[in-house]
Structure 1
Amino acid sequence: DLSRAGLKALSGCSKLSVLKIGICMRISDEGLIHIGKSCPELRDIDLYRSGGISDEGVTQIAQGCPMLESINLSYCTEITDVSLASLSKCAKLNTLEIRGCPSVSSAGLSEIAIGCRLLAELDVKKCFAINDVGMLFLSQFSHSLRQINLSYCSVTDIGLLSLSSICGLQNMTIVHLAGITPNGLMAALMVSGGLTRVKLHAAFRSMMPPHMLKVVEARGCAFQWIDKPFKVEQERC
């Protein structure tokens, strides 16, 4: 079990560039502070399900590691928009995973969009407070975005259509979006000329004109139809 003492020892590796410590339950903000202060070349950190960390630890990483390119904070349920605001100063950030972080919102995502212009991969599944406002900021500033997971967010047709204007967008996962209608989805798919893969709930398959789906497929887009029940509750660790 990696603990605070372990991270303090690791912080002696000043050239550390990759740190994979997901599902390490004993990690705390104090441990991340050691890393942030001593590892300025850190590029990739995985904190998946590290439930003991909060905005304080993430902020220290963001401030101390200006080379940061990728961070996984999925199911770190204590983090808020404060973490996203601090990460928005990491101009090289291209991969952000914040799945299952219910306290982040479009306010924080908008700061990421403005500050992290190289953002290419984004996972905001089960970030219930992220809505169309966040998508509008992404469409305006995140021109490098290639992949996004929006399942269980509060995005509607408006946000999805706005997002679809990003010409380089290739991969979308929108399995459970209660605010999406078949017409809105079809319009977004027709606008997104660069899509190569879309993951959708199987219920939409019978709601959209088959000939229009074939048009999208003919452009090189593969559909993956998922038949999963809609579960709003947060996944347990």
Structure 2
Amino acid sequence: MGGACSRKRDQQVDEDSQHNGVSGRYCKSGSSKWLAYSFSRSFSDIKRRTTTPSLMELCIYKVCEDINKYNSFSMLPRDLSQQIFDELVYSRRLNDVNLEAFRDCALQDMNLGECEGFSDFWMDVITSQGSSLLSASFAGPDVTDSGLSRLKDCQSLQTLAFNYCERISDHGLEHIAGFSNLSTLSFRRNNVITAQGMAALSHLINLVKLDLERCPKIHGGLVHLKGLTKLESLNINCCNCITDSDMRPLQGLVNLKALQLSSTKITDYGVTFLRALHKLELLNMECCLVTGACLESLSALRALLYLNLSRCNLTDDGCDKFSKLDTLKVLNLGFNEISDAILVHLKGLIYLESLNLDSCKIHDDGLVNLAGLNQLKFLQLSDTEVGSNGLRHLSGLRNLESLNLSFTVVTDVGLKRLSGLSNLKSLNLDSRQITDAGLGALTSLTGLTHLDLFGARITDSGTNYLKCFKNLRSLEICGGGLTDAGVKNIKDLASLTLLNISQNGHLTDKSLEAISGLTELMSLNVSNSRITSAGLKHLKSLKNLKSLTLEACKVTANDIKKLQSTDLPNLVNFRPE
């Protein structure tokens, strides 16, 4: 479904993940779709945030610009040297040479992210902070057990992360056993740590958050967590060694609020050990080996706010137990073998706020069971067989804020039934069945801030309706029906921060001239059009632009780089590149 112009099913490209201050490799999990990306902070961000930068901000920027002129900041007040250090990290200027200037500065936070060149040799300066150091994070393959051992003098540490440090082994874990103040610990993506090494964690009695995502050798090690009664968050996503027996030790962690189990080998039997976790609010079981029978155990988790069962291949068998989850607020059943019959069991979830039925085998008739879910705010019906008739059951969901109907068989006629959803802010209609008439049926939804019409067949005539959506911050129209005349109707949407009008092959440089007044734009995509290098001059006014995509246009990477260097200093991601 969706037609030739549609995209985004299995190849969702994060256009802004390139050139970030922190690489996407380190800042988000592949199994955690709800995590967002962010651009790195820079002095230009400071300048936009305040009309006139403060004297302090100007000084910090100047010091970072001339960082090689300074040998030591130990005489400065700690808060000032901390700000200088943080700015160097964010701007990716910190290296093994200028790091030396921070020796004995009593810094509290040394969160280095993905600083290039980081290795054990940096540890001397880091450990010189002594008992002042409260938080430290590192990433990269050049940190070893020896480097970790040097932290022994930093006994006040509360947060410690060695993500992607593949040379940290069981021996290294022994060195953190004495960190009694540690509340947050992360060893994400480590292929060396084993169950035996996890014995060191049993001493961390104040641990609140533990992240062991993608650690494939920890089967049997969760038994060492039995005494960590303060633990509130445990992430073992993508640990394909984890089985049902690993769940038994967790039943005593009565304060656990978040448990990430995606892509593990947990079955219905393993889920039975979670029944005692009455404070659990988030449970992620995406791609686990459970069936509908697991819902009987989950019915005991009355505090659940978020439940993710996507791609678990659930069947109707056992799903009658859904009716017991009467306080569930978020339910994700994406990619499941689920039929209309099961939706009757959702009727009792009167507090449900978010429901994801993406790629489920449901049709119009099943939606009648959602009509009474008056607290529903977020509803995903993408890639289902839902059509226009089913939308009548959604017309009474007055609190709905986000609705995804992409890749469905909904037509223009059905969209009229959404006209009363006055709180709707985000609407996804990536579907070839939607035309100008459908857009016209939505003009009463004046509160919309995000409108996705990627594959819809919108023409210049249809863009006249866009004038009704003055609050739009994100707009995508990529069905191929726009010309320069239609883009003129977009120029008055002054709040736009993201505009995607790619795949419209008739657009020329005049379109760039038309949108040159949209000064809030941060992301612009006009790929597969007739844009040329000559038209780039019209983008000089878009000082907030961070992402520019002009693929398959008569524009070269050098053309964009020149524009970046002279007029768009905030541009961090561009294509072609």
Identify the TM-score tier after normalising by the shorter chain.
0.7 to 0.9
Q: Using the alignment, how far apart are the partners of 1:136 and 1:174 within structure 2?
A: 16
> Does the CA contact (< 8 Å) of 1:7 and 1:34 recur in 2?
yes
The one-letter code matched in structure 2 to 1:190 is K
- Equivalents in 2 of 1:67, 1:177: separation in Å? 33
Choose between structure 1 and 2 for higher RCO, CA contacts under 8 A separated by at least 6 residues. 1
Shift, 1:60, TM fit: 0.6
Q: 2:321 aligns with which of 34, 42, 53?
A: 34
1:98 maps to which residue? 381
> Where do residues 176-187 of structure 1 align in structure 2 (5 Å cutoff)?
176-178=455-457, 180-184=458-462, 186-187=463-464
CA radius of gyration, larger in: 2
Residue 118 of structure 1 deviates from its aligned partner by: 0.8
Q: TM-score, normalised by structure 2?
A: 0.36
Query: What amino acid is the match of 1:59?
Result: V
Which structure has the highest helix share of the two?
1
What do the CA deviations read for 1:203-230 (whole angstroms, capped 9, x no partner)?
45544355443223x34453123449xx
2:334·2:356 contact (CA, 8 Å) conserved in 1? yes
| Residue of structure 2 in register with 1:66 after alignment | 350
Query: What is the alpha-carbon distance in structure 2 between the residues aligned to residue 153 and residue 111 of structure 1?
Result: 23
How many residue pairs match? The answer is 216
Aligned to 1:234: none
Question: 1:175-206 CA distances to partner (integer Å, 9 max, x unpaired)?
Answer: 1113x22211x212122111111012174554
TM-score, normalised by the number of residues in structure 1:
0.83
Question: Which position in structure 1 is the counterpart of 2:444?
Answer: 165
How do 1:42-53 and structure 2 match up within 5 A? 42-51=328-337, 53=338
Q: Answer yes or no: is 1:131 the counterpart of 2:411.
A: yes
Matched, 1:122 2:403: yes
Kept in 2, the 8 Å contact 1:84–1:112? The answer is yes
Shift of 1:92: 0.8
Q: 1:212 to 1:90 in 2, by over 3 A?
A: closer
Match of 1:12 in 2: 300
- 2:199 matches 1:199: no
CA distance in 2, matches of 1:94, 1:193: 22
Whether the 8 Å CA contact 1:15–1:39 is kept in 2: the answer is no
Give CA-to-partner distance per residue, 1:136-188, whole Å, 9 cap, x none.
1211x10011001101152221220221321101111101113x22211x212
Contact 2:354 2:379 in 1 (8 A): yes
Query: In the aligned structure 1, how far is the partner of 2:467 from the partner of 2:356?
Result: 31
Return structure 1 stretches of 4+ with deviation > 4 angstroms.
Answer: none
For 1:153 and 1:69, how far apart are their aligned partners in 2? 29
CA contact 1:124–1:153 (8 Å) conserved in 2: no
CA distance in 2, matches of 1:153, 1:120: 23
1:64, CA displacement in angstroms? 2.1
What RMSD over aligned residues (CA atoms) do the two structures have, in Å?
2.1
Alpha-carbon separation, structure 2, partners of 1:88 and 1:75: 20
Equivalents in 1 of 2:302, 2:497: separation in Å? 44
Change in CA separation of 1:33 and 1:208 when aligned onto 2, cut-off 3 Å: farther
Q: Residues of 2 paired with 1:198 and 1:8: CA distance?
A: 42
